[in-house]
Amino acid sequence: MSTVRCRIAPSPSGFLHIGTAKMALFNWLFARSQGGTFLLRLEDTDADRTEEEFVQAMCDGFKWLGIDWDEGPPFGDEPEKGDFGPYRQSQRRDMHHNEGMRLMAEGRAYPCFCTKEELDADRALADAEKRPFRYSRKCRDLTPDEIAAKGDTPFVLRFRVPDGETVVEDLVQGPVTFNNKEFDDFIILKPNGDPIFHLAVVVDDGLMRITHVLRGDDHLTNTPRHIMLFNALGYPLPQFAHLPMVLDEAGKKFSKRMHGANVLDWRDEGYLPETLINYVVMLGWTSEEEGREFFTLEELKHLFNINRLNKSAARFDRKKLDWLNGQHIRMLTPENLRDRLLPILAAKGIDTSGKSPEWLTKMAAICQEKIPTLNNIIDYVDFFFNDVDAYDPKAENKYFRQPDSKAWMEADIRMMSAAEDWTHDALKAAFEAEVEATGVKLGSLVNAARLALTGKPVGPGLFELAELMGKETVLARMNRALEYMKTLS
């Protein structure tokens, strides 16, 4: 087993965002490609924003995508697993507090008794003098006697930022150097003893022995603080990789308010999880095979290479996502596709209980090359389960209201009635023989018949759907269509 240990640490304050899914995916793929360990940790210390329904929504999103975890908290119907728990940050408060107090005991942090009013006054002065606000460090060098004299006065704990520079040796961005003068002596513990994010995340990563932190590049400016804390606490420093955020089609950050920001929006629209995994990985990673865009999950586990991560942001491209979804649908076995389609049909009130598994598999197979999303199946098969009571107006004008329309339908009925072998191949041969004998266009015969059987101008291939529909139903619908055509002026 590799020593690589990666994590995703979302805040359960909403749905699983597409950007969070991207970071989870990259950490997960890196761990899997290295035979390492992938952890899930919930940063749920913000009690006002954390709801258990959001915890469940995140669990549903990860599980739909197929991103599993080796260590993590009780999550949805998953039990806690792993030896470095608890894996909910809210349950680790004592660890954070103790490590903060250790830093104070070692002189790497100090109590700050400055009041909000004092800090607001300093901030107002900085604004008036048109300079950035910096904490004055007035409490930095208080003596033990001065601290003792404060008694029970509330205080925050500030980290004592060292002099010099901090270099982030980033696996994506390259070396990034920060002058420590840019950073205040930042707060690590609140007056009530609760940790600030910077301390909590470093303590958790350190005690959980995280070796690699792959996260959004919006965290890059936080990383110097984290490196200082890692060093002060004596933890091994993980390697960092900061990745561009997901941009929408307009080139802006993918807003939480946008449809599609929630990973489960794509599930509800009939996209496959395999598709979203394939697409999202290309929003920040490039294969060594130039131009390749289609990947299965198993292939990605073996092909993923951290050295191929991209530094520049990529825009979300709906057309490419749609194309990929079609490709992944074609890759499914008919049985697998059938099983994914049945819940969608049931949700739309279509009762499939009267059909055998074999029939339903054939139904899925004849639509497999046609549907761009799973949800499109409704328009491609509803006529198998419901009678046709209306015809598409444009198609009706084109195939039912032409001078030769009745002749096309009569020919269709004659051929179908004479068919002894009710199979795709036999029906196709009969239509081709009619075309050869009469010179009528195949499209006229086929499209008129499809409209009669389905009420629609597009759908599965005529011969495939006719075979599945059965001879009796086919002839009944064609004769009904012919009678309808006779009523048209």
Q: What is the Cα–Cα distance from 340 to 162, expressed in whole angstroms?
A: 57
Catalytic residue (one of 150, 181, 256, 441): 256
Inter-residue contact 329 to 303 (CB < 8 Å): no
DSSP string, 285-311: B--SSTT-----HHHHHHH--GGGB-S
DSSP string, 231-278: HHHTPPPPEEEEEPPPB-TTSSB--TTSTTSBHHHHHHTT--HHHHHH
145-169: b (≥16 Cβ within 10 Å) or e:
eebeeeeeeebbbbbbbeeeebebe
- Rounded to 10 deg, the angle between the 273-281 and 52-65 helix axes is 90
User: What strands lie across the sheet with 109-112, from one edge to the other?
Assistant: 109-112, 156-159, 187-189
| Residues whose CB falls within 8 Å of the CB of residue 483, separated by 6 or more in sequence, listed in order | none
13-24: b (≥16 Cβ within 10 Å) or e:
ebbbbbbbbbbb
Query: Is 256 among the catalytic positions?
Result: yes
422 token code pair: 């009710």
Looking up tokens 């759907």, which residue turns up?
Answer: 465
Name the residues annotated as catalytic: 256
